[in-house]
Homo-oligomer: A and B are copies of this chain.
Amino acid sequence: MEQPSLQHKIINDPVYGFITINHPLIFNIIAHPYYQRLRRIHQMALAYLVYPGAVHTRLHHSLGAYHLMCMAINELKLKGVDITLEEEIATKAAILLHDIGHGPFSHALEEEFLSGIDHETLGLHIMNKMNVEFNGALDLCINIFQNKYHKKFLHQLISGQLDVDRMDYLTRDSYFTGVSEGVIGYDRIIKMLVVHNNELMVEEKGIYSIEKFLIARRLMYWQAYLHKAVLAGEEMLVKILKRVKELCLTDKDSVKTGSGTDYFLFEFNGVLNDDVVHKFCQIDDIDFEFAIKKWSSHADIILSTLCKGILNRKLYKVRFQSEEIDNDLLEKKQAALAQEFNVNKADSNYLAFTGSISNTIYKTDDEKINILFKDGSVKDISSIDNTLIHKTITNPVKKFYICSIL
């Protein structure tokens, strides 16, 4: 009676148990070197400096998001939403590829490293390149990814207020950091998803889970993504690149590392083409970490100090406050450090500086988490009586900070 097994593969995931791969296109994407590259990019960049467990990768995250997509599509189909097999596979392919454009230590370095080209733009280029190799098998996937497909909810599952990307990264980052308060009820949220007027919505009885999701996100922002020491590490990375570029002007050889990053640091003119995209796909966190190790013994005291800081976890001290940092304070700090390190005034800006960050719990303008009530009416979660997510608390929270090396 039994039939030959269909080809399928399972991957152990500590977060969800098992992730099942059972379609050739999905296999081919995962086997592609561009995708395997994500194995060498940390999902949470330098957060491991605070949370030693936070060393998981973008490959792992995108596999997790793919798993949640399988669950979500399954749920919607059970509820009678019409999704063809082709649409299903294309949507799953799109979520697997949604982070394909991330470079090393991504968010921190987009500006310095890639002349501000963002990872979505790069991602689209890479997908198109892969699509050529795959003879157009990614056509629909790319359409959905770009939100050009008429079933809008498919795009919303990939990139929207309740997309599986966010659900996975909150769940996964919480698992690997051990910040248990970041746990969201992803399975419950998925069970509450519905499609109404071609848009993704949440059933009324899912309101509390959505609130919980938004609060958990907020908590993860302040406790993990914007944690003092994480911020300090990322500022260090940025300053290292700035310094390297400065040193390059006078002594390029001393800062070359022999890796693919050299091109982007010293030659890239900001114009994307196939060759540049291919070069980009050769670099990952390893190249940067190697460079930092190398530069940590550079003759320039500023560069070596910053690099050693990352390696040995001697990070900038960060102080947060709700008012802007007093300029006098900064200048005094800089003057003292300039003397201590025997550098000039201009360079002291590497040793002490100020900045600000902000986070909004829910942006009523562009976020739209729509709740579908039993009577058929639809309301944005921030406009429902008695919910936590009121207009009054949807203003951004801004914090100012000063960083200094000692």
Contacts and interface: CB of A to CB of B under 8 A. Distances in A.
A27 interface: no
Contacts of A31: 312-313
Interface string A179-194: 1110111011001001
A318 to B, nearest CB: 13
B397 A386 contact: yes
Contacts of A151: 1
Nearest to A42: B55
B3 A81 contact: yes
Contact of A215 (B40, B60, B212): B212
Contacts of A178: 12-15, 17
Contact of A63 (B12, B52, B177, B179): B52
Given A2-B198, A18-B191, A212-B219, 7 more contacts: A3-B82, A12-B178, A13-B53, A55-B57, A179-B185, A181-B188, A286-B290
Given A78-B6, A188-B18, A388 B218 contact: yes
Contacts of A290: 259, 286-287, 289-290
Number of copies: 4
A56 B12 CA distance: 15
A392 to B, nearest CB: 5
Interface in A378-402: 385-386, 388, 390, 392-393, 397
A208 B223 contact: yes
A79 interface: yes
Q: Which of A17, A50, A175 has the most CB of B within 10 A?
A: A17
Interface of A: 1-6, 8, 10-15, 17-18, 22, 31, 33, 36, 39-40, 48, 50-53, 55-57, 59-60, 63, 78-82, 151, 175-181, 183-185, 187-188, 191, 194-198, 208-209, 211-212, 215-216, 218-219, 222-223, 257-259, 282, 286-287, 289-290, 293-294, 308, 311-313, 322, 361, 385-386, 388, 390, 392-393, 397
A322 B379 CA distance: 15
Nearest to A61: B52
A8 B74 CA distance: 14
A390 B391 CA distance: 12
Nearest to A189: B181
